[in-house]
């Protein structure tokens, strides 16, 4: 996402209070699990009136063909931005684990290649901000990246965390559970995208990954190489006709900046009518979650997945 390169405020505070923050996150996870227990409905929902039957069927068909569309009355899907990046060092396996324990079923991470072509999970074009190294990721070999400390910048408790390869992240997800929203970060050649697709196939994860990017060519390469992989387009500003763009690219989801989406709320209904889900980024406040929820947004990408999961659980059904 095109958010600031500086770490979130929670991350800066986490340098001194990491242990407390993690405890709070795990407490939120337990609370979310407790609150998610619902009483069974007292009676089944009434059957739709004949005049509404066709519309209901059409809606059900769209959800069946696009699982990223949320069902009526369902909570928004929680997508953990770079893992639980407000509570642990972003784009690391520990951040992913904290997000899972906080109730997130989807984790968003960024992928870029090393100098020798190995896909790594990193947001910035350089390793300077989030590791103890320096230099562009594309100028460092896999061996050099593997030697970096990607945790101590956030808090001493995370010293020794590594920049994971895409392969390591996929193994972790397969072992511990969860799904991946994988952002192809920046411009990628067809061969570089092919390496990413190969990793997804080799690890048997193609049915648990949504590929997103700001770069149209990266999405076109992905669609050509793996037509069955669901795609999402990231946008800082909405296109004049998001539906036309979604159709041209064969998108499952259209993922706009939440600020611009709330300025153009009609886009949600138009995209839904075309069978395209809407995932807003990057939102960390309950007031904005409520606004996006009321618009019908299907998923919210957040640095605070445990809090959003808890907010969902407490949300009136």
Question: What is the C-alpha separation between 110 and 91, in angstroms, rounded?
Answer: 7
Question: What is the C-alpha separation between 226 and 246, in angstroms, rounded?
Answer: 17
**Four-CA torsion 229, 297, 29, 107, nearest 10 degrees:** 30
Backbone angles phi, psi at 118, to 5 degrees: -85, 125
How buried is 121 (Cβ within 10 angstroms: 0-12 exposed, 13-18 middle, 19+ buried)?
buried
Radius of gyration of the chain from Cα atoms?
20
Strand, helix or coil for residue 311: helix
Q: Which of 123, 188, 203, 272 is catalytic?
A: 123
Q: Which of 81, 188, 203, 221 is catalytic?
A: 81
* 8 A C-beta contact, residue 28 and residue 307: yes
Clarify whether 123 is annotated catalytic.
Answer: yes
* 8 A C-beta contact, residue 123 and residue 50: no
Pairing mode, if any, of strands 179-184 and 209-213?
Answer: parallel
Residues carrying an active site annotation: 81, 123
């Amino acid at each position: 996402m095109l958010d600031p390169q500086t770490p979130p405020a929670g991350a800066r505070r986490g340098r001194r209070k990491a242990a407390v923050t993690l405890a709070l996150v795990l407490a939120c996870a337990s609370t979310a699990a407790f609150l998610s227990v619902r009483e069974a409905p007292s009676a089944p929902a009434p059957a739709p009136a004949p005049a509404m039957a066709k519309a209901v069927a059409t809606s059900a068909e769209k959800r069946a063909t696009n699982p990223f569309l949320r069902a009526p009355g369902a909570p928004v899907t929680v997508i953990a931005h770079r893992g639980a990046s407000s509570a642990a060092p972003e784009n690391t396996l520990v951040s992913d684990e904290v997000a899972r324990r906080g109730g997130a079923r989807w984790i968003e991470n960024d992928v870029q290649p090393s100098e020798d072509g190995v896909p790594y999970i990193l947001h910035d074009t350089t390793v300077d901000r989030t590791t103890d190294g320096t230099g562009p990721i594309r100028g460092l070999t896999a061996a050099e990246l593997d030697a970096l400390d990607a945790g101590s910048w956030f808090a001493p408790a995370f010293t020794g965390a590594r920049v994971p390869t895409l392969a390591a992240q996929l193994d972790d997800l397969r072992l511990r559970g969860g799904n991946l929203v994988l952002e192809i970060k920046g411009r990628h050649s067809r061969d570089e995208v092919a390496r990413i697709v190969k990793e997804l196939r080799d690890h048997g994860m193609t049915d648990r990954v949504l590929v997103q990017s700001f770069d149209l060519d990266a999405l076109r390469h992905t669609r050509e190489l793996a037509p069955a992989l669901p795609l999402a387009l990231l946008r800082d500003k909405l296109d004049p006709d998001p539906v036309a763009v979604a159709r041209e690219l064969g998108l499952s989801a259209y993922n706009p900046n939440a600020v611009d989406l709330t300025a153009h709320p009609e886009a949600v209904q138009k995209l839904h009518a075309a069978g395209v889900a809407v995932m807003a980024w990057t939102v960390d406040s309950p007031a904005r979650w409520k606004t996006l929820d009321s618009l019908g947004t299907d998923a919210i990408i957040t640095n605070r997945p445990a809090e959003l999961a808890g907010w969902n659980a407490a949300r009136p059904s």
